[in-house]
DNA sequence: AACGGAACCTGAAAGC
DNA sequence: TGCTTTCAGGTTCCGT
């Protein structure tokens, strides 16, 4: 959506309302300077990062877990949880886009060079696809449990706790299994499970809004995430939950081996 | 290098 | 009812 709102536009003004979404040591004034007057050339996504290429440089936006871009009118007052505001002229239209983030886990940056973290991202399952052989080789080198390895953005970009949980359930793999113990066949199943979970979520997202599971009124659209204690959709036994790599992990002890 | 655990932050939900 | 505590998530940092 952000792409639709600002592509080919010229950034008229920038306001950073809360500097906590910037990198440590970064100051709003420098960022404003880097963006003002620049033209947006394209918007790309890899994993949880957006990279907005400008005629000179680029800016990066990570949505954390509660971040979203929203379109507003330039006349509108700051929206609830607004942290950054960009006013853009696209053709004859004046648009104002706002970065909203209640929990401030997101990030906003306009570095001179591409962020190292962006360059280090693994392949994005939807943008780049998953090369099962390459993934299998990568997993072979990791002794850690498969679930925390999937959360490593250098392995695959964009896999968070929800998709790792869902993908492993679909692949019928126990999240505690050592990553190195997965066969190539099982790695293929995980790759398909992850893609399926991501695509399902993408299909669910409406034209112009993101609804997070945590938001009131949103019902749980996931197979097992958030459903601990409820019947497994496959075998009907109650789903278990444990902490793995510091994150809650729902699983079925019968279906996932 | 690889790993575990705590910290960051705040709204919602659960507990009292 | 209203206050307090706990929990969730993605990432970074610190110690081992």
- Per residue in A102-144, pLDDT (tens digit) is 999 999 999 999 998 999 999 999 999 999 999 999 999 998 9
Query: How far does Cα A204 stand from its chain's mean position?
Result: 15
What is the distance, to the nearest Å, from the Cα of residue A193 to the centroid of all Cα atoms in its chain? 17
- A180 and A163 Cβ atoms separated by less than 8 Å: no
The residue-averaged pLDDT of A80-98 equals 94
> The tokens of A110 are what?
């306009």
| pTM of the shown model | 0.91
Query: What percent of chain A is predicted at pLDDT more than 90?
Result: 79
Q: List chain B nucleotides near protein: any atom < 7 Å from a Cβ.
A: 2-13
Under the banding of pLDDT at 50, 70 and 90, the label for residue A219 is low
- Dihedral-angle region of residue A217 (phi above 0 means left; psi in -120 to 50 means alpha; beta otherwise): left
As a rounded value in angstroms, the CA-to-C1' distance for A83 and C5 is: 28
Retrieve residue A127's tokens: 């943008």
Q: Give dist(CA A251, CA A205) in Å, integer.
A: 25
* pLDDT above 60: residue A214: no
| pLDDT for residue A208 is more than 50 | no
* Nearest protein residue, CA measured to C1' of B1: A142
For the record, the structure tokens of A124 come out as: 């994005």
Region at A240 (left for phi over 0; alpha for psi -120 to 50; beta for the rest): beta
Check whether A3 has a pLDDT greater than 80.
no
Chain A 193-232, CB < 7 Å to strand C:
225-226
pLDDT value at position A206?
55
Q: What is the pLDDT of residues A32-44, one digit of tens each?
A: 999 999 999 999 9
pLDDT for the residue numbered A92: 92
Give, in Å, how far the C1' of C10 lies from the CA of A171. 24
């Amino acid at each position: 959506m952000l792409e639709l709102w600002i592509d080919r536009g010229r950034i008229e003004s920038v306001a950073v309302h809360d500097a906590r979404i910037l990198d440590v040591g970064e100051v709003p004034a420098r960022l404003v300077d880097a963006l003002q007057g620049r033209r947006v050339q394209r918007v790309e996504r890899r994993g949880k990062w957006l990279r907005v290429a400008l005629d000179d440089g680029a800016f990066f936006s990570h949505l954390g877990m509660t971040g979203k871009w929203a379109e507003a009118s330039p006349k509108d007052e700051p929206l609830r949880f607004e942290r950054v505001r960009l006013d853009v002229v696209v053709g004859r239209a004046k648009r104002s886009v706002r970065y909203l983030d209640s929990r401030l886990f997101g990030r906003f940056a306009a570095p001179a060079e591409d962020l190292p973290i962006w360059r280090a991202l693994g392949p994005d399952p939807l943008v780049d696809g998953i090369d099962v052989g390459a993934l299998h080789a990568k997993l072979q080198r990791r002794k850690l449990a498969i679930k925390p390895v999937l959360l490593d953005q250098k392995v695959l970009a964009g896999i968070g706790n929800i998709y790792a949980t869902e993908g492993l359930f679909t692949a019928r793999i126990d999240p505690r299994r050592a990553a190195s113990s997965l066969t190539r066949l099982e790695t293929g199943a995980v790759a398909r499970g992850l893609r399926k979970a991501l695509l399902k979520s993408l299909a669910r997202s409406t034209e112009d809004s993101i609804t997070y599971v945590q938001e009131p009124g949103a019902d749980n659209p996931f197979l097992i995430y958030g459903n601990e204690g409820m019947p497994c959709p496959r075998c009907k036994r109650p789903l278990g939950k444990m902490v793995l790599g510091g994150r809650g992990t729902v699983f079925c002890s019968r279906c996932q081996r």
